[in-house]
Structure 1
Amino acid sequence: MSNPLVLVDTTKGEFLVELFADKAPQTVANFLRYVDEDFYVGTLFHRVIRGFMIQGGGLDNMMREKPTHPPIPNEAHNGLKNLEGTIAMARTADPHSATSQFFINTVDNPDLDYVDESNYGYCVFGQVIDGMDVVKKIEKVRVRPFAGHEHVPADQVSINSISRFE
């Protein structure tokens, strides 16, 4: 069985992501649950840091956090690295706190990789396989502090849809 694909349609264009269900099965199942529930429709890329990553999947267009399912275990020990174009789960300081938010690495970020139990890292669970130019376009938007968040796009970048791609 091949890895699932999802098409992410944003206000800046589309990109296609391959999900590594063989390496991060719980993370992929969690992500696809949100996809299948249309949870991501209308959420923002609310944290954009040039030369680092773009983050989204949890805040609505009023910058309010959407209610989520319970957190999932961190599968960052799966051997996958936070390389340019990979998608990983966002979380708080608690390594096992990821819910719906994700980020796409716009450069290689080895500091985000799993090291050991005391330096757990961020779980990579997929890779952008087409449309990285759209990710780079999002990365280059003008940002500002807003609503208690740093690096918020001055002009909202929202997710129109994320759907399974056959």
Structure 2
Amino acid sequence: MENPHVLIETSLGDILAELYPDKAPASVANFLQYVDDGHYDNTIFHRVVRNFVIQGGGYTSLLEKKPRREPIPNEATNGLQNTAGTLAMARAFDKDSATDEFFINAADNPDLDHAGDADDEYGYAVFGQVVDGMDVVKKINWKVVKPRDGFDDLPVDTVDIISVSRYE
């Protein structure tokens, strides 16, 4: 395996992803630092939007925000598109606001791709691809969600991220 791989162990099964440091060096380095620090262990997928995305990595099962490092530059101009199975950095409105949260596209989402230089057009940086476990992504994506505790798309039954580790 030339590119780094990570194993995302969830309460619904495992997801294996390949990362693309040649296309998204800052995003991959940032993500792997969080992986190496154990940051993603015992977090949840806190945003699940059917036929769109599953997002996680920033909150515990008690819905407590985990401490995070400084934001990284947005690499959405790297030529990678938000297609089904890709991993991308989640962010706030500011294009350069991605920190620890990531999402997996559950469908092709061209509206999340780079379309211009304004913050609302800049897009979301893809930095990896699921190579095994899309069935798990689909299981998570079909969970029943309910707005509560300040979250719009929180699964009724918590979907845990047990751990994320490098896979060799």
| Partner residue, 2:161 | 159
Using the TM superposition, give the Cα deviation of residue 9 of structure 1 relative to its aligned residue in structure 2, in angstroms.
0.2
Inter-partner Cα distance in structure 1 for 2:97 and 2:65: 15
Secondary structure of the corresponding residue to residue 78 of structure 1: coil
What RMSD, in angstroms, separates the aligned Cα atoms of the two structures? Answer: 0.8
Structure 2 residue 107 is the aligned partner of structure 1 residue 100: no
Structure 2 residue 14 is the aligned partner of structure 1 residue 14: yes
**Deviation digits for residues 65-105 of structure 1 (CA, Å, limit 9, x no counterpart):** 11100000000000000000000000000000000000000
TM-score of the two chains, using structure 1 as the length reference: 0.98
**Deviation digits for residues 106-147 of structure 1 (CA, Å, limit 9, x no counterpart):** 000000001121211000000000010000000011110111
Structure 2 residue 136 is the aligned partner of structure 1 residue 117: no
Inter-partner Cα distance in structure 1 for 2:5 and 2:124: 21
Amino acid at match of 2:123: G
Runs of 4+ in 1 over 6 A off after TM superposition: none
Structure 2 residue 66 is the aligned partner of structure 1 residue 81: no
Using the TM superposition, give the Cα deviation of residue 64 of structure 1 relative to its aligned residue in structure 2, in angstroms.
1.4
Amino acid at match of 1:99: T
Inter-partner Cα distance in structure 2 for 1:33 and 1:68: 11
Inter-partner Cα distance in structure 2 for 1:49 and 1:115: 22
| Partner residue, 1:68 | 68
**Deviation digits for residues 41-71 of structure 1 (CA, Å, limit 9, x no counterpart):** 1111000000101000001111111110000
Inter-partner Cα distance in structure 1 for 2:27 and 2:124: 11
Inter-partner Cα distance in structure 2 for 1:35 and 1:146: 28
Inter-partner Cα distance in structure 1 for 2:151 and 2:163: 23
Using the TM superposition, give the Cα deviation of residue 2 of structure 1 relative to its aligned residue in structure 2, in angstroms.
1.3
| Partner residue, 2:33 | 33
Inter-partner Cα distance in structure 2 for 1:64 and 1:125: 26
Inter-partner Cα distance in structure 1 for 2:156 and 2:146: 6
Inter-partner Cα distance in structure 2 for 1:31 and 1:43: 14
TM-score of the two chains, using structure 2 as the length reference: 0.97
Inter-partner Cα distance in structure 2 for 1:132 and 1:5: 15
Q: 1:139 aligns with which of 138, 141, 154?
A: 141
Inter-partner Cα distance in structure 1 for 2:149 and 2:66: 15
